[in-house]
Amino acid sequence: MPSSPCAPDHVRRVACVGAGVIGGGWVAHFLARGYDVTAWDPAPDAEEKLRRLVAAAWPALEQIGLADGASPDRLTVAATLAEAVADAQFVQESAPEKLELKRSLLAQLDAAAPPGVIIASSTSGYPMTDMQTEAADPGRLVVGHPFNPPYLIPLVEVVGGKQTDAAAVEWASHFYEAAGKSVITMERELPGFIANRLQEALWREALHMVANGEATVKEIDDSITEGPGLRWAFMGPCLTFALAGGEGGMAHMLDHFGPSLKSPWTRLEAPELDDTLRTAMVDGCDEAAGGRTIAQLVAERDQGVIDVLRATGRLPRQRTEGTDGNASTTSSMGDEK
Ligand SMILES: NC(=O)C1=CN([C@@H]2O[C@H](COP(=O)(O)OP(=O)(O)OC[C@H]3O[C@@H](n4cnc5c(N)ncnc54)[C@H](O)[C@@H]3O)[C@@H](O)[C@H]2O)C=CC1
Ligand SMILES: C[N+](C)(C)CC(=O)CC(=O)[O-]
């Protein structure tokens, strides 16, 4: 077992490797929770982009409550990967979703990080078994799959690969909880984990409807935000459908609607993501954005998530007594169980 040199709730220094949309979001989250964060990203403009992302996220983070001592000033951008992880007590990898790159990067991180320190990948779909093949100590490599933006959406799915030590998965789950996340620890690897597997089914149908001219991008988005999405923020799809069975609950729902719900399973096919569909999706999203910039949409999304968290009783949350003004001060969101 990679005996981590640090208890999950005593971590103070986190390294984030890859600082784009998700790596930057992780940086913002860890800073807001009071950690010292060291980031590394090979892109020449990475530091500027990262600091811009953190600055844009900070007002939302102030709204939901910062840990004592939290500050963007506690971010250091390292010149090399080795420097970034040299002193880390936890490493979050968020490099591009390319299997070969992940394999080699995780091996480099394993070689450079202090012995025993847990290294998590943000991958949105690769099983850790396929990514840990080149590492000398694959036992300490786990998946920690976040949701965009990681500084507001509580969920992290944690799962190991065939060579991951069970204790590493357990340590990572405890660490994310201490860092204010809501954790699902998976016993076994599933492509897409749980939430993306569900999202993939929805996404396939959305693309299919656009490809076939059956619905516009706006209609698809409205159908969720004005419909099931309102329920899903606080009650999942299974319990929601149990209520479709009235007093008979899920049993009646399945007896009543089961046969009619089953027939589509056999007729649904994957669409071809060709240039025509790509253009239709890009144009449809531009139209749905209605002239709003990405920065405006990010601010709108962040406020929307905060409003939903607050409306559903997940904000504000009591802080626990922080003795060191750091990670022991739990998040104001996400881990109410
Ligand atoms: N964008 C999303 O909504 C989500 C993405 N993810 C996962 O997060 C990871 C990162 O995705 P994004 O942030 O969206 O991509 P991105 O393209 O925004 O950022 C990737 C960053 O990695 C950097 N990079 C390139 N080569 C690198 C290397 N060898 N080592 C370290 N960094 C390197 C790039 O310069 C870039 O800044 C992927 O594994 C993705 O599947 C997970 C959940 C949601
Ligand atoms: C688009 N994506 C598949 C990378 C999204 C995710 O992995 C999770 C999310 O943020 O919905």
Amino acid in position 47:
E
Question: Residue 87 and residue 173: Cα distance in Å, rounded?
Answer: 21
Ligand nearest to the CA of 143: 1
pLDDT given for residue 333 in this prediction? 47
pLDDT given for residue 331 in this prediction? 40
Question: Residue 27 and residue 30: Cα distance in Å, rounded?
Answer: 5
Question: Residue 44 and residue 93: Cα distance in Å, rounded?
Answer: 18
pLDDT digits (tens, 9 = 90+) for 30-81: 999 999 999 999 999 999 999 999 999 999 999 999 999 999 999 999 999 9
- Which residues lie below 8 Å from residue 173, measured CB to CB, with a gap of 6+? 158, 183, 185
Q: What is the mean pLDDT of the chain?
A: 90
Q: Is 161 annotated as a binding residue?
A: no
* CB-based pocket (< 6 A), ligand 1: 17-23, 41-43, 46, 94-97, 101, 105, 122-124, 145-146, 148
Sign of CA dihedral 271, 273, 274, 275: positive
User: What Cα–Cα distance (Å) separates residue 82 from each residue in 242, 271, 319?
Assistant: 51, 42, 34
**Predicted confidence (pLDDT) at residue 2 exceeds the cutoff of 60:** no
Query: Would the CB of 148 count as within 6 Å of ligand 2?
Result: yes
Q: Which of 26, 199, 202 to mutate to test the pocket of ligand 2 (most atoms within 8 A of CB)?
A: 199
pLDDT digits (tens, 9 = 90+) for 120-156: 999 999 999 999 999 999 999 999 999 999 999 999 9
- pTM check: above 0.90: yes
Which residue in the block uniquely carries the two structure tokens 């607050």?
310
Query: What string of DSSP letters covers 78-133?
Result: -SSHHHHHTT-SEEEE---S-HHHHHHHHHHHHHHSPTT-EEEE--SS--HHHHST
- The SS3 call for residue 273 is coil
- Closest CA to ligand 2's atom 8: 147
Q: Identify whether 316 is preceded by a cis peptide bond (ω within 30 of 0).
A: yes
Q: Does ipTM exceed 0.95?
A: yes
- The SS3 call for residue 210 is helix
Q: Identify whether 149 is preceded by a cis peptide bond (ω within 30 of 0).
A: yes
Q: Maximum CA pair distance of the chain?
A: 62
| Among 2-16, 93-107, 204-218, the range of highest mean pLDDT | 93-107
- What tokens were used for 158? 């944690």
